[in-house]
């Protein structure tokens, strides 16, 4: 699901050509997915999440944040307020 949201957002942000939004989108999503995959691999190989309930909650919240539209809506509001003046060429 997270990968699907990332790909859809990447496709749409590529169409509107606002580079700073695309860079922020990639940075946040790829960083978040790296954390999720790393935690999953650590748990798979070493079982480190068995006794760490708070870490499980953090990982679940991170995944929920990545699939929620809050980031996209927030970037859209900032872009509208800036009036497309802040474009990286």
For residue 79, with 0-12 CB atoms within 10 Å meaning exposed, 13-18 middle and 19 or more buried, which class applies? Answer: middle
Reduce the DSSP state of residue 52 to 3 states and report it: coil
pLDDT for 87 beyond 80: no
Q: Note the pLDDT of residue 48.
A: 84
22-77 pLDDT per residue, tens? 899 999 999 999 999 999 999 999 988 888 899 999 999 999 999 999 988 888 88
This prediction's pTM: 0.81
Q: What is the mean pLDDT of residues 73-86?
A: 79
Q: Which helix (H) or strand (E) holds 35?
A: helix 19-46
* Residue the block writes with tokens 């691999």: 41
């Amino acid at each position: 699901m997270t990968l699907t949201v990332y790909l859809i957002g990447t496709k749409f942000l590529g169409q509107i050509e606002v580079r700073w939004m695309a860079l922020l989108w990639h940075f946040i999503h790829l960083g978040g997915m790296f954390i999720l995959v790393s935690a999953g691999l650590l748990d798979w190989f070493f079982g480190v999440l068995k006794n760490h309930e708070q870490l499980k909650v953090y990982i679940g919240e991170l995944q929920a944040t990545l699939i929620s539209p809050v980031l996209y809506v927030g970037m859209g509001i900032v872009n509208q307020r800036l009036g497309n003046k802040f474009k990286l060429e």
